[in-house]
Chain A
Protein backbone atom coordinates (compact mmCIF):
# COMPACT_ATOMS: atom_id res chain seq x y z
CA UNK A 1 0.00 0.00 0.00
CA UNK A 2 1.24 3.46 -0.90
CA UNK A 3 -0.19 6.66 0.55
CA UNK A 4 -0.23 10.06 -1.10
CA UNK A 5 -0.76 12.63 1.62
CA UNK A 6 -1.36 16.20 0.57
CA UNK A 7 -1.92 19.28 2.69
CA UNK A 8 -3.43 22.15 0.72
CA UNK A 9 -3.24 25.81 1.67
CA UNK A 10 -5.61 28.15 -0.12
CA UNK A 11 -4.68 31.72 -0.97
CA UNK A 12 -6.06 34.08 1.68
CA UNK A 13 -8.62 35.53 -0.72
CA UNK A 14 -10.00 32.02 -1.36
CA UNK A 15 -10.27 30.90 2.26
CA UNK A 16 -14.03 30.58 1.83
CA UNK A 17 -13.56 27.79 -0.72
CA UNK A 18 -12.42 25.26 1.85
CA UNK A 19 -15.62 23.25 2.07
CA UNK A 20 -16.04 23.31 -1.71
CA UNK A 21 -12.50 22.01 -2.08
CA UNK A 22 -13.22 19.15 0.33
CA UNK A 23 -16.39 18.22 -1.52
CA UNK A 24 -14.81 18.55 -4.95
CA UNK A 25 -11.75 16.47 -4.09
CA UNK A 26 -13.87 13.80 -2.40
CA UNK A 27 -15.95 13.41 -5.54
CA UNK A 28 -13.03 13.45 -7.95
CA UNK A 29 -10.94 11.05 -5.91
CA UNK A 30 -13.54 8.33 -6.24
CA UNK A 31 -12.84 8.22 -9.98
CA UNK A 32 -9.04 8.25 -9.86
CA UNK A 33 -7.46 5.14 -11.39
CA UNK A 34 -5.62 2.94 -8.91
CA UNK A 35 -7.14 4.56 -5.86
CA UNK A 36 -7.98 2.13 -3.04
CA UNK A 37 -9.40 4.61 -0.56
CA UNK A 38 -9.45 8.33 0.04
CA UNK A 39 -10.14 10.70 2.90
CA UNK A 40 -10.47 14.45 2.46
CA UNK A 41 -11.18 16.77 5.37
CA UNK A 42 -10.82 20.33 6.53
CA UNK A 43 -7.78 20.61 8.76
CA UNK A 44 -8.66 21.24 12.37
CA UNK A 45 -7.37 24.65 13.43
CA UNK A 46 -6.59 23.15 16.83
CA UNK A 47 -2.99 22.01 17.10
CA UNK A 48 -2.27 22.72 13.44
CA UNK A 49 1.33 23.45 12.52
CA UNK A 50 2.23 24.50 8.98
CA UNK A 51 -0.53 22.34 7.52
CA UNK A 52 -2.95 24.74 5.82
CA UNK A 53 -6.64 24.24 5.07
CA UNK A 54 -7.42 20.81 3.66
CA UNK A 55 -5.85 17.37 4.04
CA UNK A 56 -6.17 14.64 1.44
CA UNK A 57 -4.97 11.14 2.25
CA UNK A 58 -5.20 8.81 -0.72
CA UNK A 59 -4.21 5.15 -0.67
CA UNK A 60 -3.01 3.40 -3.79
CA UNK A 61 -1.97 -0.17 -4.33
CA UNK A 62 1.48 0.75 -5.53
CA UNK A 63 3.83 3.70 -5.73
CA UNK A 64 3.62 3.58 -9.52
CA UNK A 65 -0.16 4.03 -9.36
CA UNK A 66 0.23 6.97 -6.98
CA UNK A 67 2.74 8.62 -9.29
CA UNK A 68 0.55 7.99 -12.34
CA UNK A 69 -2.62 9.42 -10.79
CA UNK A 70 -1.81 13.10 -11.51
CA UNK A 71 -1.34 12.18 -15.19
CA UNK A 72 -4.85 10.77 -15.54
CA UNK A 73 -7.69 12.57 -17.35
CA UNK A 74 -9.70 12.59 -14.12
CA UNK A 75 -6.92 14.52 -12.42
CA UNK A 76 -6.53 16.90 -15.33
CA UNK A 77 -10.26 17.58 -15.63
CA UNK A 78 -11.43 17.49 -12.03
CA UNK A 79 -8.55 17.67 -9.54
CA UNK A 80 -6.21 20.14 -11.20
CA UNK A 81 -8.80 22.95 -11.45
CA UNK A 82 -9.61 22.55 -7.75
CA UNK A 83 -6.04 22.73 -6.48
CA UNK A 84 -4.85 25.33 -8.97
CA UNK A 85 -3.40 28.23 -7.01
CA UNK A 86 -3.23 26.32 -3.72
CA UNK A 87 0.09 25.61 -2.04
CA UNK A 88 0.65 21.88 -1.76
CA UNK A 89 2.79 20.06 0.77
CA UNK A 90 2.78 16.43 -0.22
CA UNK A 91 4.50 13.22 0.77
CA UNK A 92 4.20 9.73 -0.63
CA UNK A 93 5.09 6.74 1.48
CA UNK A 94 4.81 3.00 1.68
CA UNK A 95 3.16 1.88 4.90
CA UNK A 96 5.03 -0.94 6.57
CA UNK A 97 5.31 -0.29 10.30
CA UNK A 98 1.70 0.02 11.39
CA UNK A 99 -1.04 -1.35 13.61
CA UNK A 100 -4.68 -0.64 12.82
CA UNK A 101 -7.68 -1.16 15.04
CA UNK A 102 -11.09 -0.58 13.50
CA UNK A 103 -13.04 1.97 15.49
CA UNK A 104 -15.66 4.67 15.21
CA UNK A 105 -15.44 8.45 15.21
CA UNK A 106 -12.27 10.14 16.35
CA UNK A 107 -9.38 12.14 15.04
CA UNK A 108 -6.53 11.33 12.71
CA UNK A 109 -3.27 13.11 13.36
CA UNK A 110 -0.01 13.13 11.45
CA UNK A 111 3.35 14.67 12.18
CA UNK A 112 5.35 15.10 9.00
CA UNK A 113 8.98 15.88 9.68
CA UNK A 114 12.44 15.93 8.20
CA UNK A 115 15.47 14.33 9.77
CA UNK A 116 18.36 16.58 8.80
CA UNK A 117 21.14 14.92 6.81
CA UNK A 118 23.55 14.72 9.74
CA UNK A 119 21.01 12.53 11.51
CA UNK A 120 21.63 9.57 9.22
CA UNK A 121 21.87 6.72 9.78
CA UNK A 122 22.06 6.30 13.55
CA UNK A 123 19.98 9.14 14.97
CA UNK A 124 17.16 8.50 12.50
CA UNK A 125 17.14 4.85 13.51
CA UNK A 126 17.19 5.72 17.23
CA UNK A 127 14.39 8.24 16.76
CA UNK A 128 12.26 5.69 14.92
CA UNK A 129 12.79 3.05 17.61
CA UNK A 130 11.87 5.50 20.36
CA UNK A 131 8.79 6.67 18.47
CA UNK A 132 7.59 3.10 18.16
CA UNK A 133 7.49 2.90 21.96
CA UNK A 134 4.68 5.45 22.03
CA UNK A 135 1.82 3.19 20.89
CA UNK A 136 3.01 0.55 23.36
CA UNK A 137 2.73 2.99 26.25
CA UNK A 138 -0.16 5.21 25.17
CA UNK A 139 -3.25 3.02 24.81
CA UNK A 140 -5.24 6.01 23.56
CA UNK A 141 -3.39 5.55 20.24
CA UNK A 142 -5.81 3.15 18.59
CA UNK A 143 -4.08 3.02 15.19
CA UNK A 144 -0.67 4.19 14.07
CA UNK A 145 1.91 4.07 11.29
CA UNK A 146 5.48 5.26 11.12
CA UNK A 147 6.60 5.62 7.54
CA UNK A 148 9.62 6.87 5.69
CA UNK A 149 8.93 9.19 2.79
CA UNK A 150 9.53 8.09 -0.80
CA UNK A 151 8.24 11.10 -2.75
CA UNK A 152 7.88 14.76 -1.82
CA UNK A 153 5.96 17.66 -3.28
CA UNK A 154 6.45 21.18 -1.99
CA UNK A 155 9.12 23.27 -0.36
CA UNK A 156 10.58 20.84 2.19
CA UNK A 157 12.18 17.43 1.75
CA UNK A 158 10.30 15.64 4.50
CA UNK A 159 11.57 12.21 5.51
CA UNK A 160 9.02 10.76 7.95
CA UNK A 161 5.27 10.54 8.53
CA UNK A 162 4.05 9.59 12.00
CA UNK A 163 0.30 8.93 11.91
CA UNK A 164 -2.06 8.11 14.73
CA UNK A 165 -5.76 7.86 15.37
CA UNK A 166 -7.39 8.69 18.70
CA UNK A 167 -10.96 8.56 19.96
CA UNK A 168 -10.83 12.32 20.46
CA UNK A 169 -8.46 15.28 20.57
CA UNK A 170 -7.99 14.75 24.29
CA UNK A 171 -6.06 11.58 23.60
CA UNK A 172 -3.49 13.62 21.71
CA UNK A 173 -3.32 16.66 23.97
CA UNK A 174 -3.49 14.61 27.17
CA UNK A 175 -1.96 11.12 27.44
CA UNK A 176 0.15 11.42 24.28
CA UNK A 177 1.80 14.64 25.39
CA UNK A 178 2.09 13.64 29.04
CA UNK A 179 3.66 10.24 28.72
CA UNK A 180 7.28 10.22 29.88
CA UNK A 181 8.12 8.29 26.72
CA UNK A 182 7.31 11.49 24.84
CA UNK A 183 8.78 14.31 26.93
CA UNK A 184 11.54 12.22 28.47
CA UNK A 185 12.71 10.27 25.43
CA UNK A 186 11.32 10.90 21.94
CA UNK A 187 11.35 14.68 22.20
CA UNK A 188 15.14 14.79 22.48
CA UNK A 189 15.54 14.52 18.71
CA UNK A 190 13.08 17.40 18.20
CA UNK A 191 14.41 19.73 20.90
CA UNK A 192 17.10 22.18 19.82
CA UNK A 193 18.64 22.05 23.29
CA UNK A 194 19.70 18.42 23.03
CA UNK A 195 22.95 17.33 21.39
CA UNK A 196 20.96 14.67 19.53
CA UNK A 197 18.69 17.31 17.93
CA UNK A 198 18.21 16.21 14.30
CA UNK A 199 14.64 17.08 13.29
CA UNK A 200 14.22 20.15 11.12
CA UNK A 201 12.09 22.64 13.09
CA UNK A 202 9.66 23.19 10.21
CA UNK A 203 7.41 20.24 11.00
CA UNK A 204 3.85 19.75 9.81
CA UNK A 205 1.18 18.71 12.28
CA UNK A 206 -2.21 18.00 10.82
CA UNK A 207 -5.36 16.88 12.63
CA UNK A 208 -8.72 16.05 11.11
CA UNK A 209 -11.99 14.56 12.31
CA UNK A 210 -12.81 11.05 11.12
CA UNK A 211 -16.11 9.15 11.16
CA UNK A 212 -14.29 5.83 11.49
CA UNK A 213 -10.80 4.42 11.09
CA UNK A 214 -9.24 5.65 7.86
CA UNK A 215 -5.91 3.86 8.13
CA UNK A 216 -5.66 0.35 6.76
CA UNK A 217 -3.30 -2.49 7.38
CA UNK A 218 -1.02 -3.04 4.38
Chain B
Protein backbone atom coordinates (compact mmCIF):
# COMPACT_ATOMS: atom_id res chain seq x y z
CA UNK B 1 0.00 0.00 0.00
CA UNK B 2 1.58 3.25 -1.15
CA UNK B 3 0.89 6.27 1.00
CA UNK B 4 0.35 9.37 -1.13
CA UNK B 5 1.54 12.74 0.12
CA UNK B 6 0.46 16.06 -1.34
CA UNK B 7 2.53 19.16 -0.70
CA UNK B 8 0.97 22.55 -1.36
CA UNK B 9 3.35 25.50 -1.54
CA UNK B 10 1.52 28.79 -1.73
CA UNK B 11 3.26 32.15 -1.86
CA UNK B 12 0.92 34.83 -0.57
CA UNK B 13 1.20 38.52 -1.37
CA UNK B 14 2.71 40.73 1.38
CA UNK B 15 0.19 41.53 4.10
CA UNK B 16 -2.37 38.91 3.05
CA UNK B 17 -1.05 35.72 4.67
CA UNK B 18 -3.36 35.93 7.69
CA UNK B 19 -6.37 36.33 5.41
CA UNK B 20 -5.28 33.34 3.34
CA UNK B 21 -4.64 31.11 6.36
CA UNK B 22 -8.09 31.96 7.72
CA UNK B 23 -9.82 31.26 4.41
CA UNK B 24 -7.88 28.01 4.05
CA UNK B 25 -8.82 26.89 7.56
CA UNK B 26 -12.49 27.82 7.26
CA UNK B 27 -13.30 27.15 3.62
CA UNK B 28 -10.80 24.55 2.38
CA UNK B 29 -9.80 22.36 5.31
CA UNK B 30 -13.28 20.99 6.16
CA UNK B 31 -13.89 19.87 2.60
CA UNK B 32 -10.42 18.37 2.26
CA UNK B 33 -10.87 16.37 5.46
CA UNK B 34 -14.20 15.18 4.13
CA UNK B 35 -12.46 13.95 0.99
CA UNK B 36 -10.10 11.82 3.06
CA UNK B 37 -7.11 14.17 3.12
CA UNK B 38 -5.23 14.24 6.41
CA UNK B 39 -3.30 17.40 7.22
CA UNK B 40 0.11 16.21 8.39
CA UNK B 41 1.49 19.65 9.03
CA UNK B 42 1.49 23.29 8.02
CA UNK B 43 4.57 25.51 7.93
CA UNK B 44 5.66 28.82 6.58
CA UNK B 45 8.52 31.02 5.57
CA UNK B 46 9.41 33.53 6.97
CA UNK B 47 9.36 31.48 10.17
CA UNK B 48 7.33 32.45 13.20
CA UNK B 49 5.62 35.54 11.77
CA UNK B 50 4.79 37.32 8.55
CA UNK B 51 6.88 40.30 7.55
CA UNK B 52 4.75 43.04 6.04
CA UNK B 53 7.38 43.87 3.45
CA UNK B 54 7.63 40.33 2.09
CA UNK B 55 5.45 37.58 0.69
CA UNK B 56 4.84 34.59 2.94
CA UNK B 57 5.16 31.08 1.58
CA UNK B 58 2.80 28.60 3.21
CA UNK B 59 3.38 24.86 3.11
CA UNK B 60 0.61 22.35 3.71
CA UNK B 61 1.45 18.66 3.72
CA UNK B 62 -1.46 16.28 3.23
CA UNK B 63 -1.58 12.51 3.19
CA UNK B 64 -3.89 9.93 1.69
CA UNK B 65 -3.67 6.35 2.77
CA UNK B 66 -3.18 4.90 -0.72
CA UNK B 67 -3.74 5.45 -4.42
CA UNK B 68 -7.39 4.41 -4.20
CA UNK B 69 -7.88 7.09 -1.55
CA UNK B 70 -6.21 9.58 -3.89
CA UNK B 71 -8.73 8.82 -6.65
CA UNK B 72 -11.65 8.95 -4.21
CA UNK B 73 -10.46 12.40 -3.21
CA UNK B 74 -9.85 13.42 -6.78
CA UNK B 75 -13.26 12.27 -8.08
CA UNK B 76 -15.27 13.28 -5.03
CA UNK B 77 -18.91 14.28 -5.26
CA UNK B 78 -20.82 16.83 -3.27
CA UNK B 79 -23.57 15.79 -0.85
CA UNK B 80 -26.18 16.31 -3.57
CA UNK B 81 -24.23 14.15 -6.03
CA UNK B 82 -22.65 16.97 -8.02
CA UNK B 83 -19.07 17.18 -9.18
CA UNK B 84 -17.09 18.58 -6.27
CA UNK B 85 -14.29 19.80 -8.52
CA UNK B 86 -16.25 22.98 -9.15
CA UNK B 87 -16.36 23.66 -5.41
CA UNK B 88 -12.64 23.03 -5.13
CA UNK B 89 -11.89 25.16 -8.16
CA UNK B 90 -14.01 27.99 -6.79
CA UNK B 91 -11.92 28.07 -3.62
CA UNK B 92 -8.64 28.23 -5.50
CA UNK B 93 -9.92 30.85 -7.93
CA UNK B 94 -10.94 33.05 -5.02
CA UNK B 95 -7.75 32.34 -3.07
CA UNK B 96 -5.56 33.13 -6.07
CA UNK B 97 -6.58 36.75 -5.56
CA UNK B 98 -4.32 36.64 -2.50
CA UNK B 99 -1.42 34.67 -3.93
CA UNK B 100 1.58 35.27 -6.14
CA UNK B 101 2.13 31.65 -7.04
CA UNK B 102 1.33 28.18 -5.87
CA UNK B 103 2.40 24.66 -6.56
CA UNK B 104 1.00 21.24 -5.70
CA UNK B 105 3.37 18.27 -5.73
CA UNK B 106 2.53 14.61 -5.21
CA UNK B 107 5.09 12.73 -3.11
CA UNK B 108 5.63 9.27 -1.71
CA UNK B 109 8.05 7.57 0.58
CA UNK B 110 11.31 6.88 -1.19
CA UNK B 111 11.73 3.44 -2.76
CA UNK B 112 13.90 1.00 -0.90
CA UNK B 113 17.18 0.30 -2.65
CA UNK B 114 18.63 -3.20 -2.56
By a beta-carbon cutoff of 8 Å, the part of chain A in contact with chain B is 177-178, 180, 183-185, 187-188, 191-195, 197, 201
Contacts and interface: CB of A to CB of B under 8 A. Distances in A.
Contact of A195 (B83, B85, B103): B103
B88 A193 contact: yes
B4 interface: yes
Interface string B76-109: 0000000101101100100000000111101010
B64 to A, nearest CB: 10
Contacts of A188: 104
Contact of B108 (A177, A180, A191, A197): A180
A183 B86 contact: no
7 contacts: A183-B70, A183-B71, A183-B106, A184-B4, A187-B74, A193-B88, A201-B85
Nearest to B4: A183
Given A183-B4, A201-B86, A193 B71 contact: no
A88 B53 CA distance: 56
A188 B6 CA distance: 12
A183 B104 contact: no
Interface residues of B, number: 17
A192 B108 contact: no
B88 A195 contact: no
A180 B71 CA distance: 12
Contacts of A187: 74
Contacts of A194: 104
Contacts of A193: 85, 88-89, 92, 104
Contacts of B106: 180, 183-185
Contact of B85 (A177, A178, A192): A192
B6 to A, nearest CB: 9
A77 B27 CA distance: 58
Given A180-B108, A195-B103, A201 B74 contact: no
- The 10 nearest A-B residue pairs measured at CB: A192-B89, A184-B106, A192-B85, A178-B67, A194-B104, A193-B88, A183-B70, A192-B88, A195-B102, A201-B85
A195 B104 contact: yes
Nearest to A201: B85
Contacts of B67: 177-178, 183
Contact of B83 (A178, A185, A201): A201
B39 to A, nearest CB: 15
A187 B106 CA distance: 11
B74 A191 contact: yes
Contacts of B89: 192-193, 197
Contacts of B103: 195
A191 B71 CA distance: 11
Nearest to A194: B104
